[in-house]
Amino acid sequence: MPNYSKQSIALIRKGGLALMAFLLFGCSMNLIGDGPFIVAHRGASGDAPENSLTAFKLAWEQGADAIEGDFSYTADGQIVCFHDSTTKKFSAKNVEVRKSTLAELRALDVSKYFKNKTAVPLFPTFKEVLATIPAGKKIFIEIKSDPGIVPALIKELDQSGLQPEQIVVICFKKEVLQALKAKAPQYKLSWLCSFKKNKAGEMAPSSEEVLETLKFIGSQGFSSNSAIPESTKNLVLEQGYEWHVWTVNKVSEAQRFKEWGVFSITTDYPGKIIKGLAEATERAL
């Protein structure tokens, strides 16, 4: 008997025999059928403070297949989970993360960020985030620092007890992914890319530039924003790369990307997207 998630069992009870048959014979036990899997952007950041242990733990409770977090190097050699290069968004005292120690960051008054919100601890370490990951679940590690972070990152991963298949490292910086590839080829890489219109009104980068970069890095995957042209998506998939998309918070948009063959969808609201895609699948039966 397959090992169903709690959400799948609930749907079976609610949806009756047709849904039960679908889940029994479907090749994936993901709540939304045969894919894509759902990645919680900075944790369940639509419902909890981004990049906090609270947001990551909530993502697991909502049924996410993976979490995504942002990681930087501090002045005292710690790897901290935090998106921005400075604390301007979070604290009245604006400091650079890379020039601050972990203790200095955690001592900041972040009441500015938590106005009308429930306060929770910020600045978890990489080790603390890794410790939240259940067996069979994944983490997308976005590196915000330069290649100097790679040796410490590999050491933490080696000590975490996680399996290589649970790890996906993502970054906008090609040199960071190359450095990781050279030292730890067992981990899957996915190059981050944001599509925008250039002065000529064309979407950039071009499909050719995307493929050249993926080959240059030796990346297994391509992670794009939702503005990706369909033609580029087609070429990426035709060349055998995994395609991941971010940040998708509307069920209708998630459904479109599912139909396009996306490998994973990153969202601020994993619970909502999982439920919405499951309901769409149930209606289609």
Give dist(CA 167, CA 45) in Å, integer: 20
- Residue 214: pLDDT above 70? yes
Looking at residue 30, its pLDDT comes to 45
**Tens digits of residue pLDDT in 28-48:** 334 444 679 999 999 999 999
pLDDT band at 17 (very low <50, low <70, confident <90, very high): very low
Task: Map 147-175 to HEC letters.
Answer: HHHHHHHHHHHHHHCCCHHHEEEEECCHH
For residue 125, the cross-strand partners are 80
Looking at residue 1, its pLDDT comes to 30
pLDDT band at 93 (very low <50, low <70, confident <90, very high): very high
Q: What is the DSSP letter of 30?
A: B
Looking at residue 34, its pLDDT comes to 67
Looking at residue 25, its pLDDT comes to 30
When computed from its CA atoms, the radius of gyration of the chain, rounded to whole angstroms, is: 19
- Residue 270: pLDDT above 70? yes
Looking at residue 117, its pLDDT comes to 80
Average pLDDT over residues 82-96: 97
- Residue 8: pLDDT above 80? no
**Residues constituting the chain:** 285
Q: What is the mean pLDDT of the chain?
A: 90
3-state secondary structure of 68: strand
Looking at residue 285, its pLDDT comes to 87
Structure tokens, 162:
């996680």
Contacts 24+ apart (CB under 8 A), 212-217: 213/174, 214/239, 214/241, 216/174, 217/174, 217/177, 217/178, 217/181, 217/189, 217/191
Pairing between strand 221-225 and 242-246? parallel
Structure tokens, 213:
């970069």
**Tens digits of residue pLDDT in 99-136:** 999 999 999 999 999 988 889 999 999 999 999 999 99
- Residue 282: pLDDT above 80? yes
3-state secondary structure of 96: strand
- Residue 76: pLDDT above 60? yes
pLDDT band at 75 (very low <50, low <70, confident <90, very high): very high
- Residue 27: pLDDT above 90? no
pLDDT band at 4 (very low <50, low <70, confident <90, very high): very low
Question: For the chain, which domains are there?
Answer: 33-83+121-270 (3.20.20.190)
Looking at residue 116, its pLDDT comes to 81
**Among candidates 144, 151, 159, which has minimal Cα distance to 179?**
151
- Residue 18: pLDDT above 80? no
pTM: 0.88
Looking at residue 234, its pLDDT comes to 97
Choose the weakest-confidence range: 21-25, 83-87, 170-174, 179-183.
21-25
- Residue 242: pLDDT above 60? yes
